[in-house]
Copies of this chain bind each other. A is one copy, B any other.
Amino acid sequence: MNSTIETNSKNSTDMFKVEHKDSYAAWLQYKNIDNSALSNEYKHLWGSLNVLGNSLILETAKKELLSAISSMLGIEPAFAEPTQANLVLATKDSLGDLVDVDFDQLNDDGYVIKTVTSREEKQIFLVGKRDSGVLYAVFHLLRLMQSRNNLQQLDILENPKNQLRMLNQWDNMDGSIERGYAGNSIFYKDNQFSDELNRIEDYARLLSSVGINGIAINNVNVHKVETNLITSILLPKVAEVAAIFRAYGITTFLSVNYASTITIGNLSTADPLDPEVRQWWKEKAEEIYSYIPDFGGFLVKADSEHRPGPFTYGRNHADGANMLAEALQPFNGIVLWRCFVYNCLQDWRDRSTDRARAAYDHFKPLDGQFHSNVILQIKNGPMDFQVREGVSPLFGAMEKTNQMLEFQVTQEYTGQQRHLCYLVPQWKEVLDFDTYAKGEGSEVKRVVDGSLFQYKYSGITAVSNIGNDYNWTGHTLAQANLYGFGRLTWNPDLAAEDITDEWIGQTFGSDELVKETVSKMLLKSWSIYEKYTSPLGVGWMVNPHHHYGPNVDGYEYDVWGTYHFADWKGIGVDRTVKTGTGYTSQYFKENTDRFESIETCPDELLLFFHHVPYTHKLKSGVTVIQHIYNTHFEGVEEAEGLVESWLQLKDKIDQERFEDSLNRLQEQAKHSKEWRDIINTYFYRKSGIKDELNRKIY
C-alpha cells in the first residue's frame, strides 16, 4: 500500500466529513440537543454505562453510543456496576439474571430495550439475543434520541422480519459503478481496492443503523479483473473489507463469474456436473473461508445478458446453483442465484415471445430441485425495475425453493438521483401484493420473510445507490431511499409515512414545517415521476443504454424484449391468455383473473397487460390518450411544485444540503418539461388526437 496515497485518501474522506458534515452524516447527524430540559433529562438517564461481554460488535455498539452521546449531550458516561449503570448493554449469554428477558421471543438479530426502575438508579437495558441485536438496539435508542423522544419508560421488543437484509454493490474494480449516480466506487479505484477504509466503515455504520446484515461488494456482472476477487491475489483485501463490515454485523458476499473454472481455474469447462469443476469450486470455497471464516457466499448472475452459465453445457439453473451450493455447504455459505434470465437477443418482430414470462418459465419447473443453501434472488417485477410494472409472478410460485426479493435503490429508471423519486411507496406496494399462493393473505412480504413456506433462507436485497459523492447519494434526498430500504427490510409492515418521518427527523431535525413539507415531497415523488415519464405501466420509453431521459421508441425496435407497440390506433402489450402472450396465467388465479380482464385490471397497469385503443376509457373516466396528456401536464406542474415546496425551507436547512437539493429539483422541473413535450408530441403525432384542453403540444 502506498502511504502517500493512503494519507491523501484519508484526508479526502476526512475533508468530506468536515467540509460536508451534514451532507456526509446522512441520518446519523447526532446534533447537539439544544433544548436544555430534554438535554438534562437525557444526561441524567445516561450518566453511566456498562457493557457486559466482549466482542467486536459489542465494541462497535459501545463506540457508537459513546460517540453519539458525546456529540448530542457533550458528556461521557462513567463506568458503573451492572446493577447500577444507567445503560447496560448485554447479550443473552452475558446478561445473567440482571433483568428478565424472554429470549424465546427474539430471533437471532432481535433485541429488547427495557427501562428498569426498581433499583436506586433508573436503568435502561439494551439486550440482544446476540451481539448484533445489541448494536441494533443502540441504533434504535439513538434514533429515538435523535427524534427527541421521551425515553423515561422504554419497553421495546424488536425482531427483524427478514433474515437476510442485504445490499448489492454494482461496483467495478476500475472504480465505476454500473447504474451508479453518485460518483465512483468507495470500494475500488484503478483496479485496486480503495485505501479509504474509513469511508467503507462509515458506510457500514449507515447500513447497520438501518439493520442491513449482508453485502455483496462487487458487480453481478463480473468482468475480468473482478473474477480474481476469489483468488489469493485479492482475497487478503476482500478480508480487510469483510473485517470492517463484520464489526457492524454485516456479512460479506462476492459476486462470482460462473465461468471462473475456465477464466482463472485453467479448466476447459464450467459444466456444473463435471467432477473437476465441482472439485475446483470446493477447493476454492475452502480457500476463501481460510481468509474470511464467516464469508457469506456467492451472488451469481448466470446465463443472463451474455454472462456465462449452465445453459452452455446443456444444464439447468438448479445444476449450476447446486454445484456452488455444495462447495459452500461445509462452511454454511449460501448461493444467491439471480432469476434475471431472459432472451436478450429477441427479434422485435416476434410478438409471441414475452420477456415478462422468462423468469417464471425458466425457474418454476425447477421447484424442489435446489439445495437448501440456495436462494433464488428475484427482481420485484418481471421486467427490470421500471417505474411501474406488475409484481413478479415467481413470488410464491415455488413452495420448496428459498426466495429473496431484489429491489433497486439506485434510481436507474427512476430519475438517476437527478430527479426526486422516493421508492418506499413503490416497495410497499410490492411487499403488500397478495400472491394468493396459499389463499388470501399470501403477500409477497410473507413469501420473502420465509413465513409462508418456512424457507430456510430468505429475505430482501437491493442494488445500492451510493458512491463516493460527499453526500453518498448524489441527490441528498435520495439518502431517504437507502434509509427506507433498510427499515422496510427490517419490518415490511412499517408505514411509508412513519419511515419517512423517522428519516426526516434524524436527517433534518424536528422542525414541523420541514417534516411536513419534506414528507409530502417524498411521498408524492414517485407518483410525480410516473406522471411525466411512464403512463399506465407502459415502461421503457427511455434512452437506450444509459436509461436517462425520454425516448418513446428507444427500446421499441431493439433486441431486449421491451416494447409498447404503439401505432396510430393504440398502445400496450397484450399479455393476456385469451389474445396475448399468456403471461397473466403465471399468477395465481385471483390475480390472473384480475389482470386478464380489462375491466378489473387496474388503470396503472393497463398498458402492461393490455393493448388498447387511445380512445379506451379508463376507470378514471378519461381516455388513454387524454390520460397521457393530462398526467404529463400535471407531472410537470407537480415537479415545479417540488421546487416551490423546497424553497419554503430555505432558512431551516443548512446551506449545502438546501442548495444541493434545490439544484437537483430545479433540474428535474426543467427536464420534466422535456419528458412532457416529447411524450405528448410523440403520441399526438402518432394518434392525431388533440388534447381536449388545447394545451401546447408540438
A→B interface (CB under 8 Å): 348-349, 550-553, 557, 566-569, 677-678, 681-682, 684-688, 698
Contacts and interface: CB of A to CB of B under 8 A. Distances in A.
Contact of A568 (B348, B678, B685): B685
A590 B569 CA distance: 44
A673 to B, nearest CB: 10
A624 to B, nearest CB: 16
Contacts of A550: 557
Contacts of A698: 348-349
Contacts of A686: 567-568, 685-686
Question: Which of A553, A557, A567, A688 has most B Cβ within 10 Å?
Answer: A557
Contacts of A349: 677, 698
A684 B557 CA distance: 14
Nearest to A565: B685
B569 A688 contact: yes
A568 to B, nearest CB: 4
A684 to B, nearest CB: 8
A345 to B, nearest CB: 13
Given A349-B677, A698-B349, A688 B557 contact: no
Nearest to A567: B685
A681 B557 contact: yes
22 contacts: A349-B677, A349-B698, A550-B557, A551-B553, A551-B557, A552-B553, A553-B553, A553-B682, A557-B677, A557-B678, A557-B681, A567-B684, A567-B685, A567-B686, A567-B688, A568-B568, A568-B685, A568-B687, A568-B688, A569-B688, A685-B686, A686-B686
A439 to B, nearest CB: 42
A566 B553 CA distance: 14
Question: Which of A568, A569, A681 has most B Cβ within 10 Å?
Answer: A568
Contacts of A553: 551-553, 682
A545 to B, nearest CB: 10
A687 B698 CA distance: 18
A584 to B, nearest CB: 23
Question: Which of A348, A677, A686, A688 has most B Cβ within 10 Å?
Answer: A686
Contacts of A685: 566-568, 686
A30 to B, nearest CB: 45
A687 B550 CA distance: 22
Nearest to A698: B349
Contacts of A567: 684-686, 688
A687 B686 CA distance: 8
A365 B694 CA distance: 42
A681 B565 CA distance: 10
Contacts of A557: 550-551, 677-678, 681-682
A552 B556 CA distance: 11
A498 to B, nearest CB: 41
A442 to B, nearest CB: 40
A609 to B, nearest CB: 20
A552 B349 CA distance: 16
A241 to B, nearest CB: 33
Contacts of A677: 349, 557
Given A551-B557, A567-B684, A568-B686, 17 more contacts: A348-B698, A349-B677, A349-B698, A550-B557, A551-B553, A552-B553, A553-B553, A557-B677, A557-B678, A557-B681, A557-B682, A567-B685, A567-B686, A568-B568, A568-B685, A568-B687, A685-B686
A573 to B, nearest CB: 14
A612 to B, nearest CB: 15
A678 B559 CA distance: 12
A350 B630 CA distance: 23
